[in-house]
Amino acid sequence: MRQPDALEQRQRAGFTLVEMLITVVLSTLVSVMIYTVFISQTQAFRAQADMGSMQQNLRVAMEMLSRDVASAGFGTGHDGGSWGESGQAGLASKPVYAIHVRENLAGAGPDAVEIFMMDPNRSTWALTDMNVRQSCGTSSITFHTDYPTAAAQYSASGTRNRIMCFAPSVRGRPASFIWAINGVGSGQSVPVNANSQADYLAECPNNLPAMMICGPPVYVAYYIDNNASDGKGIGGPKLPVLYYVPDLFAANLTGGYPTDNDIPVALGIEDLQVQVCEPGLGADCDLDASWHYRHDLSASNVKWHNLGAARIMLTARTLRQDEKFSSISTPIDLDITDSFSVAATADGFHRRVARTEVSLRNAIGTWQVTRGNW
């Protein structure tokens, strides 16, 4: 019988200690490599998810803002306002203006923008009766019989507790008036409080226009909540939030915004800035130098019909810091004249700036009417 040689004996003896150590080292290295790739991919996925959420918030915020700003001034008069009840900043002696940019709101840096228009929902509109000529001191608005249900939508205790009426050309200029509802509308009649405000009387010396388009007003605002100490909203330095004020009339009655009824629109919005261009003054809106920040229609040297476009700028950041990188932001200052600048370059937040320009078509339409010799 043949005896096994030494090589066969070693092969039958199994693994040596050196071979075992080599196997352990190699498996450890492979495990470390797999774990490293896993951690890296997880961090990358986390950053991508955070930036995707940031971009989504930015798009939602810009969509809402640009839509409302573009519609600002629908149904307003030649000065971009509606005359009578209420007024800018709640002052009854002033019109309610189509757009009001509040620079550096409360010293916090970001702007706030207030927007006013007639409700664009055509089902809420009605024409006044031409056969009922009403004086400027009227206590009711009478609709044409073609609108048998329009008056019933108005109630002093409801959400439609104001009515605004628009005439496209009165003495060659658009006219707009606003009243507070006094009671409940029924039939073709809407009871209102008689207006005696200075801005109203200046535009309505005798009688109201024979035919007006009437509807509920829409008065809203957008602002950044980055104050965690005021007891309002969820915003703060750690989580800035873009807020929407759905009823600025009601907010002004309680001292202005923020209020408990404001609606959060988008998280992580750090800054809001609005610029305007005035082609009615000969400015070329294709030139960046033609755009400026401050705009207040109540100022004597600012005219609604000169406006042509608004530029909206938003700065958004991710809702949490990037665990892998800290120096990922560059200094961002959308308005060097205010008190706010995203100057941190090593805070771990990814940031994006969105800019869009919208035509203020109702201001342009007013320019056409006032210059068209209608």
Average pLDDT value for residue range 269-281:
91
- The model's pTM: 0.84
| 195 and 253 part of one domain | no
Q: Do 251 and 132 belong to one domain?
A: no
Burial of 368 per CB tally in 10 Å (0-12, 13-18, 19+): exposed
Mean pLDDT computed over every residue of the chain: 86
* Cβ atoms of 69 and 113 closer than 8 Å: yes
Query: Both 283 and 262 in a single domain?
Result: yes
For residue 85, tell me if it sits in a domain.
no
pLDDT per residue as tens digits for the range 296-324: 888 878 889 889 999 999 999 998 888 77
Boundary of a domain, candidates 215, 250, 271: 215
Enclosing domain of residue 331: 52-74+98-117+219-374
| Domain count within the chain | 2
Identify whether 56 is part of a domain.
Answer: yes
Give yes or no: residues 230 and 269 share one domain.
yes
Q: Does 194 share its domain with 155? A: yes
Same domain, 236 and 150: no
Is residue 16 one of the residues assigned to a domain? no
Q: Select the more confidently predicted residue: 235 or 20.
A: 235
Please tell me whether residues 325 and 306 are part of one structural domain: yes
Q: List all residues 6 or more positions away from 3 whose beta carbon is below 8 Å from its beta carbon.
A: none
**Cα–Cα–Cα angle for 281, 287, 291, rounded to 5 degrees:** 60
Q: Write down which residue in 215, 236, 266 finishes a domain.
A: 215
Asked if 125 contacts 213 with a C-beta cutoff of 8 angstroms, the reply is yes
Tell me, yes or no, whether 307 lies in a domain. yes
Least confident of 167-171, 182-186, 298-302, 331-335: 331-335
CA gap 36, 333 in Å, rounded: 38
Residues 127 and 265 in one domain: no
Residues 208 and 319 in one domain: no
The pLDDT of residue 230 is above 90: no
Q: Does residue 6 lie in a domain region? A: no
Give CA–CA dist 138/136, Å, rounded.
Answer: 6
Question: Is 34 a domain residue?
Answer: no
Clarify whether residues 199 and 254 are in a common domain.
no
Question: Is the residue at 243 inside a domain?
Answer: yes
Q: Are residues 261 and 203 in the same domain?
A: no
